[in-house]
């Protein structure tokens, strides 16, 4: 019985235990790095399922009301949607370059790239706000005051419900992302990240790219109809 688990001290001898970036309950930096990465990936699974519910609703109503979606296509602003897609992909590129900079220990480039990512993220939200106000002026906000001059008002309204729920949820994720980015920027300016410790930059990047992917699908689903 007593040999069930024996305590051996040399097993983790290489960990030294003095790395300031390794939390006390991890054996070494590698374990901490892999845990952080896996944690973010698992979180992204939950995000996929979170948006998945709305994609399911979209699929159902699109098959129910194909005509309404065609009528509503006159109300979508394809140029703005396309411009926003480009903006978000650029921000994904700068985010990827930020991760690369942190991997290579290029401090200045890291800060610049985070700043650029935040800038493009904010432009995206600005354009989004403009689109929302445009919809508001046309009375396309679903609810008791919804106005639709074409055919199929009730069915078209469902599309706008989906439009606001999906883009709204996406925008919430963008805002959260910008919040994390602000924290990342402050810590990066303090010089916290190095080729030995860049996990926070990388997993923030994963989140940011995920939000980008959601938009990659929202664009054809809500604009190119």
Question: What is the footprint of another protein within residues 72-131 (CB under 8 A)?
Answer: 73, 78, 82, 85-86, 89-90, 92-93, 95-97, 100, 103-104
DSSP code of residue 194: B
The CA-atom distances, in angstroms, between 200 and each of 125, 146, 187, 189, 193 are: 24, 44, 10, 14, 8
Within residues 186-215, the interface with another protein by CB under 8 A covers: 195-198, 202, 205-206, 209-210, 212-213
Distance CA 46, CA 43 (A): 5
Number of residues that bind another protein (CB under 8 A): 94
Q: How far is the CB of 219 from another protein (least distance, A)?
A: 7
Give the chain's end-to-end CA distance (angstroms, integer).
68
Nearer to another protein, 124 or 198 (CB): 198
Q: How far is the CB of 182 from another protein (least distance, A)?
A: 19
Q: How far is the CB of 130 from another protein (least distance, A)?
A: 19
Distance CA 65, CA 115 (A): 43
Within residues 3-62, the interface with another protein by CB under 8 A covers: 3-9, 11-12, 23-27, 29-31, 33-35, 37-39, 41-57, 59-61
| Rg of the chain on CA atoms, in Å | 23
**Number of neighbours of residue 79 by Cβ within 10 angstroms:** 8
């Amino acid at each position: 019985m007593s040999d069930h688990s024996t305590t051996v001290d040399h097993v983790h001898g290489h960990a030294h235990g003095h790395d300031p970036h390794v939390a006390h309950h991890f054996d070494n930096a590698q374990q901490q790095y892999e845990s952080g990465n896996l944690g973010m990936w698992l979180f992204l699974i939950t995000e996929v399922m979170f948006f998945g519910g709305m994609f399911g609703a979209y699929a159902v109503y699109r098959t129910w009301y194909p005509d309404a979606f065609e009528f509503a296509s006159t109300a979508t602003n394809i140029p703005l949607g396309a411009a926003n897609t480009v903006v978000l992909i650029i921000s994904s590129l700068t985010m990827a370059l930020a991760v690369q900079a942190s991997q290579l220990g290029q401090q200045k480039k890291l800060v610049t790239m985070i700043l650029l990512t935040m800038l493009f993220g904010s432009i995206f939200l600005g354009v989004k706000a403009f689109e929302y106000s445009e919809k508001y002026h046309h009375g396309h906000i679903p609810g008791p005051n919804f106005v639709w001059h074409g055919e199929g008002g009730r069915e078209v309204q469902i599309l706008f419900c989906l439009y606001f729920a999906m883009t709204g949820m996406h925008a919430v994720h963008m805002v959260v992302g910008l919040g994390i980015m602000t924290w990342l920027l402050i810590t990066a300016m303090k010089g916290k990240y190095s080729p030995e410790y860049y996990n926070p930059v990388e997993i923030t990047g994963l989140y940011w790219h995920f939000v980008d992917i959601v938009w990659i699908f929202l664009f054809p689903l809500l604009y190119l109809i």
